[in-house]
Structure 1
Amino acid sequence: MNQNSATEVLRYTAFSADPQGGNPAGVVLDASGLDGAAMLAVAAELGYSESAFLTGRYEPDGADSRTDAGSPAGRGYTIRYFSPKAEVPFCGHATVATALALAERDGPGELVFSTLAGPVPVTVVREGGELRATLTSVEPHVTEIAPDDLAEALAALDWPAADLAPALPPRIAYAGARHLVLAAATRERLADLSYDFTRLETLMHRLDLTTLQLVWRAAPDVFHVRDPFPVGGVVEDPATGAAAAAFGAYLRAEGLAPDSAVVTLHQGEDMGRPGTLTVELRAGDPRVRVSGTGTRIDA
């Protein structure tokens, strides 16, 4: 790379074991010498929807940093995320990619990433010949969207209101970043995505949205999803861990999933980069777990 040529930038895809599937991310395991402008330059030159930068080590502490093993992880890292256009507070697929890169270097185990949204514990295990990472979101919340804002989002998408699924109401969901959840009534509606990039970007900046989480329910616990991401400078994100976590919170808040549930999201199929995200809800824990595989991409 031309920018910061001394910086080692790894390339991983998350939520697929196939380098041609899932969502690619840049990963810099030692970004201690980079400022925000340099990180943005690396992310912009790389061109992926997001890249992750580890800026230092720390000792995780506190209940929100506790992993599924019940204790603070032994490896804590501060992390920052950049799209080609801006810094974002949290990115799920780049978190998974970074955790897998660390596991390949140091071995599987428990990690905690200190993000702008809060601490995010991650567990990496080896299943057969594959590594699998599970992140635990910050505490989520779900709010309604104003009718005028919903109308503007549908206009930017060129989606008639009649094409929405009545059983899944539009909401704004947060689990580290804000996402507008819109449910299509048919798979054909979801597949036909051609939107006004500038108009949707303007609305998303005003509402502080990271992506739109467009979904179609194939079964009670299986969804197909797509995520427009104009605020990041790309038309669509192939596999979106932060939106998956927010969607899990949405399902719980709207009574669309039981207190304990495992939901499968298929994303990227319409882009030719299929990936699978597993969303887990646990009774008594408001946080959402998102897991998936990944692999390194040859430069």
Structure 2
Amino acid sequence: MTDVLRYTAFSDDPDGGNPAGVVLDASGLDEAAMLGIAAELGYSETAFLTAPPEGLGGEDGRAFTVRYFSPKTEVPFCGHATVATAVALGERIGPGELLFATQAGPVPVSVVRTDEGGLRATLTSVQPQVEEVEPADLDEALAALDWPAADLDPALPPRIAYAGARHLVLGAATRARLADLAYDFARLEVLMRRLDLITVQLVHRAADLVFHVRDPFPVGGVVEDPATGAAAAAFGAYARELGLVPADAVLTLHQGEDMGRPGVLTVELRAGDPRVRVGGAGTRIA
């Protein structure tokens, strides 16, 4: 029987953050089995670990190949499952540096012990990209969300951002607009599949470096992702590309509050380094 661990990421409370499945030894599983486990578990993603590829550097036992499956499909990269997996490994082999070989590329992860005795993991993204959104695609996204264009924040222009997975970033002018999320699941899924999007990153700016976010995830078979590390990394790249924040900055993203699973994601930008660092706490779910 496959041992499936359950961890939450971006919270030190098992009832907060985003739950993920973690399979530390998936060497005997094929893709169909991994998808079946992820579907049965029902979390937005489950991570499956196998030996690292040749040349990655797994001699110290701290490098792994990681694949991520939602209940509906495999995704190239998942931030919250990365954090959850790193915390699970930290409990077993100790804090320190890890290296994950993902379909998006190598992802280093640092695990440290907090003053409270828990564990916190910070991933470093692959090279990010930001691109324009076609007007017709934006119109279709707004129609699927049932958002009037007037509800968008003009200071947060729509873009597609990538830091391991593609996300459509849309700015909400008010917190109330962000809180009122009732969308056409099938219609948004069709658009997202055509644009190769993993989530739609809905954002409201609460302060210079503080944001509230929500992430519809219909392509994964999930209405909403409670805390989305890959989208947080993409958003960090977006905010830097558009000059919304300083080149050196630490952003705080609050997610999951509207779902009753509050989590906090820390997004670090460093001048001269295009990669984005996303960190947060994690803990096991009994």
TM norm structure 1: 0.93
* Runs of 4+ deviating beyond 4 Å: 58-62
Report the equivalent of 2:275: 287
Structure 2: stretches of 5+ with no match in the other structure:
none
Residues 10 and 26, structure 1, Cα contact 8 Å, conserved in 2: yes
Question: Does 2:11 align with 1:16?
Answer: yes
2: CA distance, partners of 1:117 / 1:58:
14
2: CA distance, partners of 1:26 / 1:218:
31
Identical-residue share of aligned pairs (%): 79
Question: Does 2:191 align with 1:203?
Answer: yes
Residues 60 and 112, structure 1, Cα contact 8 Å, conserved in 2: no
Match of 1:118 among 97, 105, 109: 105
TM norm structure 2: 0.97
1: CA distance, partners of 2:78 / 2:128:
14
Residues 49 and 234, structure 1, Cα contact 8 Å, conserved in 2: yes
2: CA distance, partners of 1:55 / 1:133:
20
2: CA distance, partners of 1:81 / 1:147:
31
Structure 1: stretches of 5+ with no match in the other structure:
1-5, 66-71
Residues 73 and 110, structure 1, Cα contact 8 Å, conserved in 2: no
Correspondences of 1:12-161 after superposition (within 5 Å): 12-58=7-53, 61=56, 75-128=62-115, 129-161=117-149
Figure out how many residues of one structure are paired with residues of the other and give that number: 285
Question: 3-state SS of the aligned residue for 1:185?
Answer: coil
Question: 3-state SS of the aligned residue for 2:51?
Answer: strand
Question: 3-state SS of the aligned residue for 2:25?
Answer: coil
Correspondences of 1:109-258 after superposition (within 5 Å): 109-128=96-115, 129-258=117-246
1: CA distance, partners of 2:80 / 2:29:
22
Post-superposition CA distance 1:265-289 (Å, at most 9, x none): 0000000000000000001100000
Q: Which amino acid aligns with 2:86?
A: A
* CA positional deviation for 1:55: 1.7
Post-superposition CA distance 1:39-73 (Å, at most 9, x none): 000000000000000021356659xx9xxxxxx98
1: CA distance, partners of 2:173 / 2:258:
17
Q: Which amino acid aligns with 1:288?
A: V
Cα RMSD, aligned residues only? 1.4
2: CA distance, partners of 1:261 / 1:61:
30
